[in-house]
Amino acid sequence: MAKKNKDKVKFGTRVLIKNRRATFDYEILDTYTAGMVLLGTEIKSLRLGKASLVDTFCIVDRGEVWAKNIYIPEYFYGSYNNHTA
């Protein structure tokens, strides 16, 4: 009988990157859950856990939240359709 994999997580329920240092440097008063618009190979780089939130911050402009200075490297196995860094 096949062994069940307990580490398997449904798509969209796992935190892929987290800024652990933010709780050291700042007092977190409120937390929000939001979606991001990502295109093409950015998603594949995130799934590999390659993004960095060091020096990342968010600003609110006209009712929209913008993440600034987030680093998502180019997908190694991508082609000419890779996103620009």
Domain holding 67: CATH number?
2.40.280.10
Question: What pLDDT, on the 0 to 100 scale, is given for residue 1?
Answer: 47
Query: Is residue 62 assigned to a domain?
Result: yes
The pTM is what?
A: 0.58
Q: For residue 9, is it within any domain?
A: no
Count of domains forming the chain? 1
Per-residue pLDDT at 61: 93
Residue 53: exposure state from Cβ atoms within 10 A (0-12, 13-18, ≥19):
middle
Would you say residue 5 lies in a domain?
Answer: no
Nearest Cα to Cα of residue 21 among 56, 48, 46? 56
The residue range of the domain holding 58 is 15-85
Residue 2 forms part of a structural domain: no
Contact 65, 59 (CB under 8 A): yes
pLDDT in tens, the chain (85 residues): 455 544 444 555 565 677 788 888 888 888 878 888 877 777 777 887 778 888 888 888 998 888 898 888 877 776 666 656 5
Distance, first Cα to last Cα, the chain = 46
In a domain, 31, yes or no: yes
What pLDDT does residue 8 have?
45
